[in-house]
Amino acid sequence: MRLFGDPILLTVADPVPEERQGEASLSTLVRDMLDTMDAHGGVGLAANQVGIARRVFVFDCEGDRGHILNPTWEPVGAEKQTGPEGCLSIPDIQGEVERWETVRVQGATVEGNHIDREVSGLLARCVQHETDHLNGILFLRHLAPDQRKEAMGAIRSSEWFKS
């Protein structure tokens, strides 16, 4: 697991070429990412969080488990949700983040099947958070200035950041 401070977390991930979809190595990556996410108790994990700069993320939100290659999303409606958000790459840090309540996500599976879904609630938050990762954006950027300052202070004093 790559932690805050690792430059790959601020790197925009490269798309997965269509001709790579279906490769055994990509299936292995997705399986390994799901195992890593589970081991760390997360609901989502982007490839750059495990050191791979490819546009892939996995998720497990309220019984909906899967992966998306080359995800894109757009908001559906005007309703937003505000709630606590954290990140496996920034242990023990949380903050209130506003996200769209419902999004339409598109992408592909490792088998090359097209994904086009409308998702809401936690899964919509996860799609937005993990796609941010793939764009080199950490959830800290979505925090109010006072929350971000507090989070940065907690990061600087944490044991995992000092090591």
d(CA 73, CA 68): 11
What DSSP string runs through the chain?
Answer: ---TT-GGGGSPPBPPPGGGTT-HHHHHHHHHHHHHHHHTT-SEEEGGGGT--BSEEEEEETTEEEEEEEEEEEE-SS-EEEEEEEETTEEEEEEEEEEESEEEEEEE-TT--EEEEEEEHHHHHHHHHHHHHHTT--GGGGS-HHHHHHHHHHHHHSHHHH-
Given 96, 130, 150, 159, the catalytic residue: 130
In which residue are the tokens 């938050």 written? Answer: 125
Give yes or no: 130 in active site. Answer: yes
Q: Are 84 and 111 in contact (CB under 8 A)?
A: no
Residues marked as catalytic: 130
